[in-house]
Structure formats: structure tokens, C-alpha cells
A and B are shown apart, each in its own frame.
With several copies, the nearest count.
Chain A
Amino acid sequence: MARSPEPAATIEADAAPTGFRVTLDDFDGPFDLLLSLITKRELDITEVSLSVVTDEFLAYLRAMEQDGSIDALDQASEFLVVAVTLLDLKIASLLPQGELVDAEDVALLEARDLLFARLLQYRAFKEVSAWFSRRIDEESTRHTRSVRLEDQYRVQTPELVWTLSVDDFAALALLAFTPKEVPVVGLDHLHAPLVSIREQAAHVVAMLRQGEPVTFRQLIAGATEKGVIVARFLALLELYRHAAVGFEQLEPLGELTVRWTAENWTDENLVNLGADYGQ
């Protein structure tokens, strides 16, 4: 529950392995064991490529999907705990040192790690929203006693004390009709502009439809806003879901190459893209 902060350290004690295993250069085993080792400082967090873990987790999810076991929210959420803890650790250990030479690599790495975590968080809410939907549906068929108050009680309610003049009343109406808008003044500069996944998907599709495989790096070239990078990544995932693109990555942390694979693609597909994301 949102109000009962659970220290991430309890994960360590809970060694029940999730089904998700990772294979890295110097580690091969259950993902939460990986975390255990890191928290016990037996493995250097900076050595762990979260982007590889991301890819493996996505592959794992795909496998679960094919098994039809994607409902395993428990497993997914347990994984989330681990993954985000990992991310926190990694950020903490990366920031003060900053040893990596290639600034672009660092930026890409961080962006991808953040994407990874965002994706996981996104999935968690998406999955739990199914519970909301189911409960609301179930409860909407329930009937409660809600009948008019019997006249004898109604008559005996205390006399209404009315103090408003007709002009007061009109003023009140005016107040009631004034749309309740958030005071937007002075807030815009605090936030990056919102990014439309669909618009970014259009950009991605335009690049990919030229036929040549494109690297993810190329796809986000020139994008300065993290939000744009996030949106392009989510757009790619959405396109993948629609079997419109294929991915290729030869080695961990290697170049991610995206290939256009759609056979029947119309702009209508694009219109529906990202609908799940509310825009």
C-alpha cells in the first residue's frame, strides 16, 4: 500500500527466486539473486548492464505472453521491486564517479535505464487497472437499499433556513459555472512539454518505412527532451506489438537495430497507436 513504505532491503531477505533469470558477462542466475549479490557488495552495480537486463526481461515477458501466463502479476511486481531497486543503486553509484568516457554512451545508458524502469512501472499500473476494471464491473451489478425517506421522517426534518437573496443566488450560480481550472500560470516552465506517443510513432514510422534498418541511436538522434526519447521507445514497443517492426541486437549493450516488418500498414494503424496510453 502506498502509505506503508517497505524498505527495499527486505527484498534481500526474501530470496524466493522469480522465474526471470539473467545472463550477463559475469553473472548467470535468478534476477533477485543478482540483487542480493549487489546489495552484499559481491558484485559491482556499475558492472551490470541494465539495458541487457531490460532486453532479457522483455524477452521473458514475451515468453510469458506466449505461454499465456502474463497474468502473473505477482511475479511481475516482485520483479519490479528488484529492478527499480537496482536502478536506484545504479544511479547512486554512477553519479558521484562518472568514470565512463563517452558522454553519449552515458546519456543513452541512463535514458534506457530510465525507460526500463518507466516501462515496468507503467506495466504495473496497467495490470492493476485490470483489477479496478473487474471490481467496478462486479460491483456495478450490486444493489443497495437506497429509498426515499419515509414521509413521516421527511416532514420532521428541521425547517430549512434560507438566507440567500435572488442576487446572491445568481452570484452563486456564476461561481458554480466558472470552470474549475488549475492555475496554470507559472507552471509551464517547470515541466517539459508533454509528448505524444502517436506523433513520435509517426516520426519513427517515417524513418523506418524508407526500408533500411535503422539503429535506435539514429531514431533518437537530435532528440534533446527525455520525454521524446521515452515516447519514441514506447512507440517502438507499440509498433512491435503490432508486428510492424523487428529488433536485432548482436551483443549486450550493442547497437539495437530496428527493421520495418509490417506487411499491411496504413495510416489508420498509426491513428490507433498509443491509444492505450491515453493519447
Chain B
Amino acid sequence: MASEMPALDLPRALEAILMVVDEPQSVVGLASAVERPVKEVQAAIAALVADYDGEARADGTPGVRRGFELREVGGGWRIYVRGEFDDIVRDFVHTQSPAKLSQAALETLAVIAYKQPISRGAIASIRAVNVDSVVRTLLGRGLITEAYTDSETGAIHYETTELLLTQLGINSLDELPKISPLLDDGRDGFDDVR
């Protein structure tokens, strides 16, 4: 394919697409849009990131550190205003900053993030409180979603969404801070505690 379209300037095509998207774009999705191998697209994205960050070009020409940057967040790539200009752009964007999550909601979110997929009952047994309304809040905010319903117990299991990753500014769950392996295998000891 590449030989048929020798003229396509990949980094430029990608930045054109990135101008119209309103969600993080996966490398695979971008690759299929430009009909190029994933590897090439990956390299082009890396080049764009360096370009916007003002790194010198291959030929040594000094770069320009742009007022925007390309970030990998929530499973894909997206153009962001560079952090130091966030104050300046704030007045131009009517962001509805959502109400802050309560401490209880944050802790419940943490439990779900680390133990997903997890049922409400299992969350409640860890949090020692009724978590129904908190779970509804998290669902409504799109931070968690229903993963599956246990066919035997009918218990809905929840998992976190890509929106959570976006709101945390991370690209995958692997970037969550380690809290310890205990949360995997220590479970059995607690199951009977309610």
C-alpha cells in the first residue's frame, strides 16, 4: 500500500485527523484510517510528539515547543493544550467541571479499579457500608460500567471505563500505583466478613 501512495505524508495526515477527533484515537484505528502499518503509525506519532515538544529534528534543526501537545490518555492519542497554557485557555472553554467526588465515592472507585470486575456485594464487604448510591453515582459519571452479570447469582459485576483513565490522565490500568499483591490473593480471608 505504501508504495501506491508514496505521496502521503504520514505525520501530516495524522495531525489532520487529530484536528477533527473528539475522543482519544487508538494507533490501530489511526492506522486503518490512513491505511498504513501500525508500526509506521506508531513511529509517526512518536515523531509528532517529539515535534510538538520542540525536540530538534533529525537534521539537528532546533524545534519549537508548541502550545499544544499530543498525549496518550485513555487508550488513545489526542491533542491537549500544553499544561502551562491551561490557565490562559480556561476562559475560552466553558467546561462544566463536574461536582467533586465524595471521599466515599473515591474509595469505592479505588476498590473497583483494583479489584475489577467486582460485584456490589463484594465492594460492600470491603467498604463495610452500603455502596448502592455511590455505585449509581459512579455509573452516572461514566467512570464505571457493567462488565457482566453473574448467571448464577444475578450479581452485576462492575469495571472501570476508559473515561476513568482519561480523567486520571493515564493510558491503562497498569499505570495505577501499585498498592500490593495482597489485593489479589488476600481476598479469600475476607469473604465471610460483611
The residues of A with any CB-CB pair to B shorter than 8 Å are 1-8, 10, 73, 77-78, 80-81, 84-85, 87-88, 91, 114, 117-118, 121-122, 124-129, 131-133, 135-136, 138-150, 152-154, 156-167, 169-170, 172-180, 182-183, 185-187, 190-197, 225-227, 230-231, 234, 275-279
The answer on a CB contact under 8 Å between A144 and B80 is yes
B101 contact set on A, CB distance < 8 A: 133, 136, 160, 162
A4-B184, A131-B177 provided; 4 other pairs, C-beta below 8 A?
Answer: A80-B179, A118-B190, A122-B126, A178-B182
Q: How far is the CB of A4 from chain B (nearest CB, A)?
A: 8
Tell me the complex Cα distance, A41–B162, Å.
46
C-alpha spacing A234/B107, complex, angstroms: 16
A158 & B179 in contact (Cβ 8 Å cutoff):
no
Complex Cα distance, B20 from A180, in Å, reads: 34
How far, in Å, is A227 (CB) from chain B's closest CB?
4
Name B168's contact: one of A114, A136, A147 (CB within 8 Å): A136
* B81–A142 CB distance below 8 A: yes
9 residue pairs A–B, Cβ–Cβ below 8 Å: A7-B181, A122-B128, A132-B113, A140-B167, A154-B140, A166-B175, A191-B194, A227-B194, A279-B130
Give the residues in chain B near A132, CB-CB below 8 Å.
106, 109-110, 113, 168
Is B65 an interface residue, CB under 8 A from the partner?
Answer: no
- Whether A139 pairs with B167 at a CB distance below 8 angstroms is yes
The one of B21, B68, B80, B98 that contacts A158, using a Cβ cutoff of 8 Å: B98
Enumerate B177-194 residues with CB–CB distance to A below 8 Å: 177-186, 188-190, 192-194
Q: Do A177 and B128 touch across chains, with their CB atoms under 8 A apart?
A: no
Q: What is the count of residue pairs linking A and B with beta-carbon distances less than 8 angstroms?
A: 299
A8 to B185, CA, bound (A): 8
For residue B174, CB closer than 8 A to chain A, the reply is yes
Contact of B115 with A by CB under 8 A = yes
User: Chain B: how many interface residues by the 8 Å CB criterion?
Assistant: 78
* Inter-chain contact B128/A173, CB cutoff 8 Å: no
Q: Given A125-B126, A142-B83, A276-B103, does the pair A80, B182 have CB atoms closer than 8 Å?
A: yes
Docked complex Cα distance between A152 and B188 (Å):
43
Q: How far is the CB of A255 from chain B (nearest CB, A)?
A: 23
Query: 0/1 per residue, B143-160, Cβ < 8 Å to A?
Result: 000000000011110000
In the assembled complex, B79 has its CB within 8 A of some CB on chain A: yes
Most buried by A among B174, B179, B189: B179
Q: Are B110 and A169 in contact (CB under 8 A)?
A: yes
| Chain A: minimal CB distance from B105 (Å) | 8
The interface bits of chain B over 81-105 (1 if a CB of A lies within 8 angstroms of the residue's CB, else 0) are 1010010011001110111111111
Neighbouring B residues of A191 by C-beta, 8 Å:
121, 124, 194
Instruction: Count chain A CB atoms within 10 A of each CB in B120, B130, B166, B194 and give the residue with the most.
Output: B194
Interface flag for B131 (CB, 8 Å): yes
Report A-chain residues with C-beta under 8 Å of the C-beta of B83. 142
Report B-chain residues with C-beta under 8 Å of the C-beta of A129: 103, 106-107, 109-110
CB of B118, distance to nearest CB on chain A (Å): 9
Q: Does B111 contact A (CB under 8 A)?
A: yes
Q: Which one, B100, B110, B126, B188, contacts A88 given CB within 8 A? A: B188
Q: Across the two chains, which residue of chain B brings its CB closest to A159?
A: B99
Which chain A residues lie closer than 8 Å to B110 at the CB level? 125, 128-129, 132, 169-170, 172-173, 175-176
CA distance A39 to B108 in the complex (A): 33
A9 CA / B40 CA spacing, docked (Å):
42
Distance, CA A275 to CA B114, complexed state (A): 23
B117 → chain A closest CB, angstroms = 10
